[in-house]
A and B are shown apart, each in its own frame.
Chain A
């Protein structure tokens, strides 16, 4: 099957599930409207979901994605406790600055997920991305190292390993 059609069907099913979950269906008319709207959505925007043919190892990738989510939630809890501590502390012990880190990820979606994860995890915020060089500019609330390799180790590597397994 063509990738675009496949992508549209996935979007259609997903939109329909969301519609049925959001509305308490009492009438067949509501279901019909849901089907019509889902078809419209999947026809207009469905081909954006899957850009290239799905690669192999779907189960392995899903497993690594779940691992990644657990990791991510854990890091997020730590991040929040850290910020809470900083904010309550009367001296505000911060040492902010913008550092540069390297990434080996190449796909757009992978870099997006990496940048968003960095933003939501301890003390770091993605400011900009230089995609040609594979570099991310990170605002760090407590700079531990100005060196690019050291900073990469501190910030990026937590997620990069798992994300490489998921996306490449």
Chain B
């Protein structure tokens, strides 16, 4: 019984990992791709690890899986934030279908005010 539930969870996890990869290929720019990559890959990997916990119980394997889940949940969004921020700062534009970019507007304001200070 536990084996069946574990295998179902692992299959679900692999499916979501697959959607994440598909998104990584199909979506237009780095920011959209990050969305697919973080969400689906986090959830998919969590599913696989949960399956391992269900199948193994609270042995040392299961406990390692729990720690793996914890670190994925903490690290994946942080990495996504760092990558997207770095991409924007180094001037990678949003895809053409994007309709608004408040970050770019504010960045221009910031550089303008800095330039004014330098001129004064």
Contacts and interface: CB of A to CB of B under 8 A. Distances in A.
B27 A84 contact: no
Contacts of A115: 77, 81
Interface stretch (A30-38, A43-51, A56-64, A135-143): A135-143
What band does the interface of chain B fall in when counting residues whose beta carbon is under 8 Å from A?
35 or more
A143 B99 contact: yes
Nearest to A23: B60
Contacts of B100: 97-99, 143, 146
Contacts of A70: none
The A interface, classified by DSSP as helix, strand, loop or mixed, is mixed
A120 B78 CA distance: 10
A105 B103 CA distance: 20
Contact of B94 (A79, A98, A128): A98
A9 interface: no
B42 A83 contact: no
Contact of A98 (B22, B39, B102): B102
B38 A120 contact: yes
Nearest to A82: B39
Contacts of A22: 60, 63-64, 67
A87 B27 contact: yes
Contacts, number: 134
A127 B16 contact: no
B84 A21 contact: no
B34 interface: yes
Report the interface size class on chain A: 35 or more
A150 interface: no
Contact of A100 (B43, B98, B102): B102
A28 B24 CA distance: 49
Contact of A127 (B28, B73, B76, B84): B84
B85 A24 contact: no
Contacts of B3: none
Interface string A94-134: 11111110000000000000011101100111111010000
Given A94-B27, A126-B84, 12 more contacts: A79-B43, A92-B27, A94-B32, A94-B97, A96-B95, A97-B94, A98-B104, A116-B73, A124-B35, A125-B38, A128-B85, A146-B99
Interface of A: 18, 21-24, 76-77, 79-80, 83-84, 86-88, 92, 94-100, 115-117, 119-120, 123-128, 130, 137, 139, 141, 143, 146
